[in-house]
Amino acid sequence: MKGEEGPRAAVVLLSGGMDSATALAVARSEGVDAYALSIDYGQRHRSELEAACRIALGLGAVEHRIVRVDLRAIGGSALTDESMAVPTAPSETIPPTYVPARNTVFLAVALGWAEVLGLRDLYIGANVLDYSGYPDCRPEYLRAFEALAGLATRAGVEERVRYRIHAPLLRLTKAEIVRLGASLGVDYGLTVSCYQADEEGRACGLCDSCRIRRKGFVEAGLPDPTRYRVLPPS
């Protein structure tokens, strides 16, 4: 993308977790007018949606929409099926918190909104270093979605719009993400990462997401504002 002008405005996927909050802060620091988009997909940790509202406001999004997509109807993930447990130990393979086709659903809705708004840029907090091995966070996946987007849309066909997916955290460690966000004024106390956060947004301290988050703060040498029910090992 060298030599190309940066976006003026973009749709920013905002889950309510720390990565997407940091991605939003990066977009804002680049002068981007951010249209924040959260998906209420029936996630177990619904308090992340309230977190998303606070973050969108705090980081000055132009607009914030929450779109309902009922992924509980297909289940298949510990995040959308209460009968499946959220693991509390690391796994060698992709864990059951993986939600089938989640980022494809999210990016599809984001693409639709971008087209409605006349925008061609999408931001996502995808990351491939300190993460759970989800396939739809990898650069090859994101490139394939960019290719799809141009073929999928009226704007792509009639106006030859080339959609761009920005993943500013893609190759950062969690510690680097924490430092970057802190330098951009992200209040991580507003964010919810825990897969089984309670209604008040308190974290379990046991799941993958809590462990990775905790490790980020410890390695960054920054205070961790998370309200854990059990302090994760670090």
| Cβ proximity to its own copies, 22 vs 43, nearer residue | 43
Closest CA to 56 of 72, 38, 83, 71: 38
Asked if 92 interacts with its own copies (CB under 8 A), we say: no
| Angle between helix 102-117 and 139-152 (nearest 10) | 40
Closest CA to 79 of 41, 104, 43: 43
Binding mask 156-195 toward its own copies (x if CB under 8 A, else -) reads xxx-------------------------------------
Residue 221 Cα distances to 102, 176, 182, 211, 214, angstroms: 32, 11, 11, 15, 11
Q: Which residue from 19, 48, 115, 224 is in contact with its own copies, where contact means CB under 8 A?
A: 115
Provide CB contacts within 8 A for 198, sequence distance 6+: 47, 229
Q: Which residue from 58, 75, 128, 129 is in contact with its own copies, where contact means CB under 8 A?
A: 75
DSSP summary character for residue 189: G
Tell me how far, at minimum, the Cβ of 135 lies from its own copies, in Å: 4
| Cβ proximity to its own copies, 65 vs 227, nearer residue | 65
Residues written for the chain? 234
| Cβ proximity to its own copies, 74 vs 231, nearer residue | 74
Amino acid sitting at position 86 = V
Stretch near its own copies under the rule CB under 8 A, chosen from 52-60, 65-73, 119-127, 192-200: 65-73
Q: HSE-up of 66 (CA within 13 Å, CB side)? A: 17
Tell me how far, at minimum, the Cβ of 208 lies from its own copies, in Å: 15
Contact 125, 213 (CB under 8 A): no
Q: Which residue from 9, 34, 109, 212 is in contact with its own copies, where contact means CB under 8 A?
A: 109
| Cβ proximity to its own copies, 6 vs 139, nearer residue | 139
Q: Which residue from 9, 24, 86, 111 is in contact with its own copies, where contact means CB under 8 A?
A: 111
Stretch near its own copies under the rule CB under 8 A, chosen from 68-76, 173-181, 189-197, 207-215: 68-76
Contact 124, 13 (CB under 8 A): yes
Q: Which residue from 57, 62, 85, 144 is in contact with its own copies, where contact means CB under 8 A?
A: 144
The three-class DSSP label of residue 35 is strand
Binding site for its own copies (CB under 8 A): 65-71, 73-76, 93-94, 98-105, 108-109, 111-113, 115-116, 135-136, 138, 140-141, 144-145, 147-149, 151-154, 156-158
